[in-house]
Amino acid sequence: MADVQKALATQIKNIEARTGKTIDQLKSLAQNSGLSKHSEIVNMLKNDLGIGYGDANTIAHLAKVPANTDNSVAADPMDALYAGPKAGLRQIHESLLVQMEKF
């Protein structure tokens, strides 16, 4: 996971250099846009900031991360995937994985 963390940190640094805005400013822009769908936020960022899909996607994703966390990728991606209202679905996912292991 250290490589993923390092890659994300590098991408954030590059986004900040290209846009002249901090990642917190960019996250705030996405959060305060009034848009709720990920794809809408990505398109807005691409159009308004003139950035590429990958950078816009990263900003949109980070804008959805709860405010009390840092910009890092969770040690277990399942924790991030099944956070908040989706927490109840994790048990189903894990049960399916157990069944798939039998194949």
| CB hemisphere CA count around 3 (13 angstroms) | 0
Does residue 30 sit in the same domain as residue 57?
yes
- Residue 79: CB atoms within 10 Å: 11
Model-wide pTM > 0.85: no
- Alpha-carbon span 4 to 46, nearest angstrom: 23
Does residue 93 sit in the same domain as residue 59?
no
Does residue 63 sit in the same domain as residue 84?
no
pLDDT, position 4: 78
- Provide the domain count of the chain: 2
Does residue 48 sit in the same domain as residue 91?
no
Does residue 27 sit in the same domain as residue 62?
yes
Q: Which domain holds residue 29?
A: 2-69
Does residue 9 sit in the same domain as residue 27?
yes
Per-residue pLDDT of the chain (103 residues), as tens digits, is: 467 788 889 999 999 999 999 999 999 999 999 998 999 999 999 999 999 999 999 999 999 876 545 555 545 667 777 778 888 888 998 899 899 998 8
Which helix or strand (DSSP H or E) is residue 28 part of? helix 23-31
Which amino acid, 53? Y
- Residue 23: CB atoms within 10 Å: 18
Does residue 35 sit in the same domain as residue 57?
yes
Does residue 12 sit in the same domain as residue 44?
yes
Q: How far apart are the first and last CA of the chain?
A: 28
